[in-house]
Homo-oligomer: A and B are copies of this chain.
Amino acid sequence: MTKQEPAPNRAKTKPAAEPVKPASRVTMQQIARAASVSLGTVSHVLNGTAGVREPLRQRVLRTVKSLGYEPNELSRGLRMNRTNMIGMIIPDITNPFFPGVVRGIEDVAYKDSYRLVLCNTDDDPDKERTYLGQIRSFLPSGILIIPAPDSVIVETPGGPPVVCIDRRPEGWRGDFVTVANREGGYKAARHLLEMGHRTIGVISGPSHLTNASERLNGFRQCLQDAAVVINPEYIQEALFDRESGYTSAGRLLQLLPRPTAIFATNDLMAMGALLAIRDAKLRCPRDVSVIGFDGLDQTELTDPALTTIYQPGYQLGYAAARLLLERIGGSADPRREIVLETELRIRNSVSRINSSVRVA
């Protein structure tokens, strides 16, 4: 306590008063002083870490309220060696599949009052590495990541728990939440076969993305099971975006015989295909059928409405976040792998092919 002169001469002496601190935040120290109590006690009241007798407790609580104290999460995090943040690394929020995932994550995080730090990698492993480093330097409670292709994620022993979503990075041995991509691809193929298609083109995603290649594998498996062969040039690799879907579809349409159906391993590329078909003066599904993968809302309204394999994006995020929270809570269970189901959504972009074309 600095000695304090009695009141009278206050005006004269120009006391070495603090120079009007620029509205800086209220600290626990100030609460302690105002409630004439020790710093530690304030902390104990706030966190319930030790019994504090009721009257004192009330006094502290009142002061907290009246001064409008809010804890400084930085010092808190510094002391406790982790903050209530969750790092969330995704390829690109602009790809309409991801907002749903993010939202699922956030809803879970919000309930437990975790904050989300968002990073878009653009599927660039360098950017991903940068972000990971930066995020770690905030000592987040956990990390949720949709890995870029070829990324090598490692879960550092002392560091925050990590859950991978949607794509499994090379050699990843930790928790993983995904969708039954293989079965989804299989379902797509089966539907096309059932509708009589035998000459089928595929627009696949980047082959080093596990989800893309699994969808393709499932698709192939089904054709193989049905003894339908598919020529390599009928399988085009694109980039999971509309534009490359458009160009790949263009190439497929020029093949002879022209495919009667196209499977795009995501909806964005399927939409590109729809556009390509239109631009080629063909009609979908009359001339060419299209089936997508994702089940984006917007594909209900395309012309024609897109038949697609739905995958539950929101649930994907939701499940991943729940799993992460368990880990943060200290769960040391063996690694978990959660696989959500896909679902064929039949709309109007796949038509039954006339039997004349059918193989005998």
Which residue numbers of A lie inside 8 Å of B, CB to CB? 21-25, 70-75, 77-78, 81, 83, 85, 88, 92-94, 96, 98-100, 102-103, 106, 110, 113, 115-120, 133-139, 156-159, 242, 271, 274-275, 297-298, 300-305
Among B24, B78, B116, B301, point to the contact of A275 (Cβ < 8 A).
B301
Chain B CB count within 10 A is highest, among A99, A116, A139, for A99
Among B113, B115, B297, point to the contact of A117 (Cβ < 8 A).
B115
Please determine whether A138 and B304 come into contact, CB atoms closer than 8 angstroms.
no
CB distance from A295 to the nearest CB of B (A): 14
Please determine whether A117 and B117 come into contact, CB atoms closer than 8 angstroms.
yes
CA distance A100 to B99 in the complex (A): 11
Chain B CB count within 10 A is highest, among A74, A77, A100, A139, for A74
Among B81, B94, B157, B159, point to the contact of A103 (Cβ < 8 A).
B94
CB distance from A277 to the nearest CB of B (A): 12
Please determine whether A274 and B301 come into contact, CB atoms closer than 8 angstroms.
yes
Name A's interface SS.
mixed
Among B116, B156, B157, point to the contact of A118 (Cβ < 8 A).
B116
CA distance A159 to B21 in the complex (A): 12
CA distance A92 to B106 in the complex (A): 10
CA distance A293 to B64 in the complex (A): 47
User: Which B residue's beta carbon lies closest to that of A79?
Assistant: B74
Among B137, B158, B303, point to the contact of A301 (Cβ < 8 A).
B303
CA distance A21 to B158 in the complex (A): 8
CA distance A77 to B302 in the complex (A): 49
A–B complex contacts, Cβ < 8 Å, 23 sampled: A21-B158, A23-B159, A71-B137, A72-B137, A72-B139, A74-B77, A85-B138, A93-B103, A93-B106, A94-B103, A96-B99, A115-B134, A115-B135, A115-B138, A116-B119, A118-B118, A271-B298, A271-B301, A275-B300, A298-B301, A301-B301, A301-B302, A301-B303
Please determine whether A70 and B133 come into contact, CB atoms closer than 8 angstroms.
yes
Please determine whether A113 and B134 come into contact, CB atoms closer than 8 angstroms.
yes
CB distance from A115 to the nearest CB of B (A): 5
**List of B residues within 8 angstroms of A133 by Cβ:** 70
CB distance from A127 to the nearest CB of B (A): 8
Please determine whether B22 and A158 come into contact, CB atoms closer than 8 angstroms.
yes
Please determine whether B158 and A23 come into contact, CB atoms closer than 8 angstroms.
yes
CA distance A78 to B78 in the complex (A): 8
CA distance A21 to B94 in the complex (A): 41
10 closest residue pairs by CB, A with B: A303-B303, A23-B158, A22-B158, A298-B298, A118-B118, A74-B78, A73-B137, A23-B157, A93-B99, A301-B302
User: Which B residue's beta carbon lies closest to that of A104?
Assistant: B94
**List of B residues within 8 angstroms of A72 by Cβ:** 78, 137, 139
CB distance from A68 to the nearest CB of B (A): 10
